[in-house]
Structure 1
Amino acid sequence: MDHREIVTSLSQEQRDHLTAKSDLPGLPLLLSHWGTILVLGTLIALKVPFWPWLMIPQGILIVFLFTLLHETIHQTAFRTAWLNEAVARSASFMLALPADWFRYFHFAHHRFTQDPDKDPELAFAKPATPWQYALHVSGLPVWRGHVKTLAVNALGRCRDGFVPPKGHSKVRMEARAMIAAYAVILILCVYFRTPVLLFAWILPALIGQPFLRLYLLAEHGRCPYVANMLENSRTTLTNILVRRLAWNMPYHAEHHAYPGVPFHRLPEFHALIEGHLRQVEKGYARFHARYLSELKLASRDASK
């Protein structure tokens, strides 16, 4: 069965249950995620003993706001529309990843998942050599891409095919507003001579980005270029801490098969369709060990 047949096979009652939205499951996660960022940021600003080590968990929490941004642009993190929108804006600001632009990008990714000609994610090639893997995991190309996207959009030069003509003014104004806000924050930090911006936000985000890259690479890395979402997307079985941090997105094949299912219903959907999943990995360490071994083998074969 492919993902369409899976969804069609569900009864109307099952579909209504699986796609029912609610504010309640997401609010504790939202408060704990943002609350921990604020607490760690305060401890870093106060320079408590061993404060530099706090930049590691701080960075991981900041970059994993990406998974919260992802859920809120799908409007599945919460039932309340304005709450999804407000949380998406705050997460996108922390990541320098404009929410409106990313919404267009991500919906094109869903529509054309693993289509080499149309999936915008594939414009950023997955690593095919150990060196490319190291560069990818560093996160540096991602930050460069975010800055470039903001600059190009702010100048009104967005030519991304997934952004419709009616969306050009939206992404332009969004980028300009974000850049203006960053400038104000930077000016205030310089005026008050405080390095809190650097140590509680920028450096932690740089430190944390490799953890997000390792996580995201498992979603579609080394998956076949086919239309079946049960085959072109990977579910990674992991612990509850990672699932909570990533808003249940390790259930990624399930999410692609039925994007209308909110994050808190994905475990139920997984239980229904796990026998039909084609790409399942038992943990991120095992995925990356296998990925690297395949890259090394391919490099040896190419050098012969």
Structure 2
Amino acid sequence: MKDLHSFGWYAAKLKPHLPKKAFNPVPTRLWGGLAYLLVTVGCLLTIGMLDFNPFIYIGVSLVIGACFAALGFLGHEILHGTVVRKAWLRDFLGAVAFWPLSTGPKLWRKWHNLTHHVHTQHEEHDPDAWPTLERIMRSRLLRWVYKLPLPVRAFFSFCSLSLQFSVHSLNMFVVYLKEFNPKKRRAVFFEAVLPWISWIGLLVWVGPVKWIFMFLIPLLIANLIVMAYISTNHRLNPTTEVNDPLANSLTVTVPKWVDVLHFNFSYHTEHHLFPGVSSKYYPHVKKLIKEHWPDRYHEMRFDKALLALWKTPRPYHNRELIDPSSGNVYGTLGNGLDTTKIQSKLEEKVNNTKEFMTTISEQKGKKRASKYQ
């Protein structure tokens, strides 16, 4: 792996080449959010107040789910302070945008802005980093899961994308609630619970059948869209001790119209370099990165990135990817992964997975024995 630099090191070199207006908030982004909000409300009322063929409901659910996801992308931008700067307005608008995903603004800023962005791809401190082989082998359930063949795990992993954001958000609520100032915990709790109260209230109003089309199916669709992006952001990149966005982040490429609909969420390396700059200017940031460090920058077509995720295992081992069921080792981006022909490093096949598991068991045995000494 090449010498690593912090995101601040890169930002300091590129900042003089960006226009000053790039560092100002861009409130016009809210017009897109308003459009999504109006479409969402219109679709919810259509299902709630009118009786149609269920196949029509499915089509409307797809539209609602797409709007839920897009609002989440806008909420992400709002809560980075690149749309409005006033704290109360930022949190209010962020709460509205994240309402469908039931994630509160205070929790998001703690989990995403202050932890993930500061410790990106650090195997211990990044809450979004995929676990290492050592951590996986300490769990009996995960040891069983990772005995399954890679294609089987890949299938269920991709199916789980429709749930991952909601499940992870709930887990982050449990993890970080105790870290908030006691005076703020009530507000954090309220922000997390209030959206669910509204969705449960919707269930009471329309009944379970329509609720499935108005909220459950759209939520699954939104999870799938959001996690399709998030899963490509870092999971093909290595873990890093230094928070180097050019090493630990991936920008995916999508058609221009998709970038418009999704507020340029595909520009992820650019976002980690300048989280305080509106995504409106990320194409310009990308151009500058490729001019300065073309050999360090990682970008990939979105569909190819998803295919690479399907073909590679997720546990990390020495900054590479390892398949515990076979012991095969795969490279990471910038560290031997050839996305044009994905295959394991046969000459580096790890045959000591059982030995590793034995070591973990011995460590657990010593801990248990120490309790009785």
Shorter-chain TM range is 0.7 to 0.9
CA deviation digits over 1:28-64, x for unaligned, max 9?
2112222222233233332445222221232132134
Q: Give the drift of 1:208.
A: 3.3
Q: Give the drift of 1:289.
A: 1.5
Q: Whose helix proportion is higher, 1 or 2?
A: 1
Deviates more, 1:54-63 or 1:258-267: 54-63
Q: 1:63 aligned to 2:69?
A: yes
Q: Give the drift of 1:112.
A: 0.8
Residues in 1 aligned to 2:72 and 2:198: alpha-carbon distance in whole angstroms: 23
Letter in 1 for 2:304: R
Question: Equivalent of 1:76, from 77, 82, 89?
Answer: 82
Q: Give the drift of 1:125.
A: 7.3
Q: Mark the runs of 5 or more structure 1 residues left unpaired by the alignment.
A: none
Match of 1:117 in 2: 124
Classify 1:140/1:130 alpha carbon distance in 2 versus 1 (closer, same or farther; 3 Å). farther
Q: 1:221 aligned to 2:235?
A: yes
Match of 1:281 in 2: 299
TM-score by length of 2: 0.67
Match of 1:7 in 2: 11
Figure out how many residues of one structure are paired with residues of the other and give that number.
294
Q: 1:43 aligned to 2:46?
A: yes
Residues in 2 aligned to 1:37 and 1:282: alpha-carbon distance in whole angstroms: 31
CA deviation digits over 1:102-133, x for unaligned, max 9?
21111211111111121111266799844444
Residues in 1 aligned to 2:206 and 2:47: alpha-carbon distance in whole angstroms: 17
Residues in 1 aligned to 2:22 and 2:84: alpha-carbon distance in whole angstroms: 14
Residues in 2 aligned to 1:174 and 1:83: alpha-carbon distance in whole angstroms: 16
CA deviation digits over 1:158-214, x for unaligned, max 9?
34xxx4x52x44244332354256336534652675855432122211233222221
Match of 1:294 in 2: 312
Relative contact order, CA 8 A, sep 6+: which one is greater? 1
Q: Which has the larger radius of gyration?
A: 2
Q: Mark the runs of 5 or more structure 2 residues left unpaired by the alignment.
A: 134-144, 315-320, 329-350, 352-373
Residues in 2 aligned to 1:291 and 1:185: alpha-carbon distance in whole angstroms: 33
Q: Give the drift of 1:218.
A: 1.0
- Secondary structure, counterpart of 1:120 in structure 2: coil
Residues in 2 aligned to 1:181 and 1:124: alpha-carbon distance in whole angstroms: 30
TM-score by length of 1: 0.81
Match of 2:354 in 1: none
Classify 1:20/1:169 alpha carbon distance in 2 versus 1 (closer, same or farther; 3 Å). same
CA deviation digits over 1:230-273, x for unaligned, max 9?
22111111112321233212111011112121121112211222
Letter in 2 for 1:6: Y
Q: Percent identity, please.
A: 21
- Secondary structure, counterpart of 1:77 in structure 2: coil
Question: Equivalent of 1:245, from 261, 264, 270?
Answer: 261
RMSD: 3.3
Letter in 2 for 1:115: H
- Secondary structure, counterpart of 1:302 in structure 2: coil
Letter in 1 for 2:123: P
Classify 1:175/1:15 alpha carbon distance in 2 versus 1 (closer, same or farther; 3 Å). same
